[in-house]
Structure 1
Amino acid sequence: MPKLPHPEAASLRRDPLPLRGRTALVTGASRRGGIGYAVARRLAAHGASVYLHHHVPHDEAKPWGADPEGPEAVAAGVRAALGDPSARVCHGPGDLSTAAAPAELIATATRALGGRLDILVANHALSGFDGTLLEIDAEKLDAHWAIDTRAVLLLIQTFARQRAALPARTPGGRVVMMTSGQDIAGGMPGELAYALAKGALASVTRSLSTTLAELAVTVNTVNPGPVDTDYMEGEEYQAVADLFPAGRWGMPDDPARLIAWLATDEAEWITGQVIDSEGGFRR
């Protein structure tokens, strides 16, 4: 095989809409304070059409609560960021704790976005604080496994089947999973069920990237580090902020910028990686 030439100078200039014509599903995008919302806005700003998945009952049951104006307000915020006026933003619910839900969600998002799905960002999770080794039980382990791990794998499975039906090596296929800080420093001993489920995603990243390589789909996993998604305040909040060299928490747009870049063609040579986006956080 001959060597590829160096790119022409014109191709080195940054495309302001590198995802024009591409489509994306972002799971767990139910609150404007969350990472999923920030990711969706970045993808939309890059030109992509985006489907937002949400499961409002999850947030309603948490201290931070659901978005006060509901999923349509979340979608409106993403539409406001659209870089391509011909792109679309759609949204819909889904309880990913059920075995059939991931395939149904992929099918629904694909129809809504015109019949093809290019980018899958599996951002959803059952929130942590599940307990230490002496506190967790089988129910908590199963719940985190079903939502944080099993649902992600089933989403990717259905996504891969769709990509396999496209012409060989159709460009633009991207999968981004989300892990946490379970593999760094002291780990997450107070959130063991959550850490176990998220650790499985980090561990399987390389295997999935190898599996999907023949479909020209990259697979990467991002650890966003501590991000201010409205779940902490007061002295504890400031104590965490002091652990960052910048003196502030990560904000949702910090990992969103990385994830959006991974979705572009500029990142087509990056696959099988677990990438920490922690701002130098000192544990």
Structure 2
Amino acid sequence: MKNRKIAIVTGASRLKGIGAAICLELAKADTDIFFTYYRPYDAEQPWGSKSEEADLLESRILNEGVRCASMELDLTLTDSFPDLFDEVERKLGKASILVNNAAYSTNTDVETIKSESLDLHYFVNVRAPLLLSVEFVQRFQDGQGGRIIHMTSGQSQGPMLGELAYVTTKASIPDMTKTLAAEIGNKGITVNAVNPGPTDTGWMTEELKKGLVDKFPMKRIGQPEDAARLVSFLASEASEWITGQTIHSEGGFLRT
């Protein structure tokens, strides 16, 4: 069996999502994939999720000629962090790439935000990526070539109305990235974050697309594959001198 790198990608429930695109792009780069999903969250979203999508994604990854495994995982539970790595090691081996893609987002503004909703945003958007990263570092053995990649959004680029809890929690990712990168660089692990900007993962209406397309200089909407190609580069050996960065891969999106 070929000695490939092993990547963990969280939050790859939907075939049209960024998580699925990341899995497939890494698989094309000859990386074994372990991904997580959580159907109950997707079922609550307007765009929904079909129960078979995780199985279909696994089949597509296997068709790239790499190994693949997955598990349904509730990242609001602290036991999920060691459980995930135990399962990865049991099925595939030690991971050297961690992509913290899973996110929790519901519409919240000053009129509707509640502590319970804010807690759920915090559990998935802040606590999970940080403690998964800690678990990754503690188990990392190669001594070089480790990669942690967070997914964030454009909170620092401008306001996101109606997303108060999401913005509040996701805004921690760039600063977390800087400090974590400085703390673990001596272990041979880089840490970076990617902001993909507005991306058509199935949530955009046709009306919204028409309103957004002229804000992109290239006159097209961002696609999951755009973010996935950047993540694949950051996971590669070619990116070894890039760490502590948040890269705004937004296709030149204009906010004015």
- Secondary structure at 1:183's aligned position in 2? helix
- Residue by residue, what CA displacement relative to the aligned partner does 1:201-254 show, whole Å, maximum 9, x if unpaired? 112111000111121000000001000000021212210122111211100000
Equivalent residue for 2:135?
Answer: 158
Pairing of 1:227-238 with structure 2 (within 5 A):
227-238=199-210
Task: Identify the match of residue 163 of structure 2 among 150, 169, 191.
Answer: 191
Give CA deviations for 1:171-216 in whole Å, capped at 9, x if unaligned. 22000001101100x3223201101111111121110001111210
Alignment partner, residue 98 of structure 2: 120
Cα deviation for residue 105 of structure 1 reads 1.1
Count of residues in Structure 1 that have an aligned counterpart in Structure 2 = 254
Distance (whole Å) between structure 2 residues aligned to residue 92 and residue 241 of structure 1? 36
Q: 1:253 aligns with which of 225, 229, 247?
A: 225
| 2:176 matched residue in structure 1 | 204
Alpha-carbon deviations, 1:17-60, whole Å to 9, x = none? xx961000000011110000100111111111000111011111
Partner of 2:62: 79
Is the contact between residue 20 and residue 47 of structure 1 (CA under 8 Å) also seen in structure 2? no
Considering only aligned residues, what root-mean-square deviation do their CA atoms show, in Å? 1.5
Kindly indicate whether the alpha-carbon contact (under 8 Å) linking 2:174 and 2:246 is maintained by their aligned counterparts in 1: yes
Mapped partners of 2:117, 2:10: distance in 1: 21
TM-score of the aligned structures, taking structure 1 as reference length: 0.86
Q: How far apart, in 2, do the equivalents of 1:276 and 1:146 lie? A: 24
Using the alignment, how far apart are the partners of 1:68 and 1:147 within structure 2? 21
Contact 1:120/1:174 (CA < 8 Å) preserved in 2? yes
> Which one-letter code corresponds to 1:254 in the other structure?
D
Q: Which residue of 2 aligns with 1:7?
A: none
For 1:176 and 1:251, locate their aligned partners in 2 and report how far apart those are by CA, in whole Å.
19
CA offset digits 1:131-180 (Å, max 9, x no partner): 223431211111100111101111001101001xx26xx22200000110
Distance 1:111 1:248 in 2: 42
Q: State the partner residue of 2:21.
A: 38
Q: Please list every run of 5 or more consecutive structure 2 residues that lacks an aligned counterpart in the other structure.
A: none
Q: How far apart are the structure 1 equivalents of 2:132 and 2:51? A: 28
1:50 equivalent in alignment to 2:28: no
SS in 2 for 1:188: coil
Which deviations, in whole Å up to 9, do the C-alpha atoms of 1:78-119 show, x marking residues without a partner? 222x2xx3x3011111000112112211221222212x1100
Distance in 2 of aligned mates of 1:172 and 1:20: 14
1:263 aligns with 2:235: yes
Cα deviation, residue 68, structure 1: 5.5
264-273 vs 105-114, which deviates more?
105-114
Letter in 2 for 1:253: E
Letter in 1 for 2:177: T
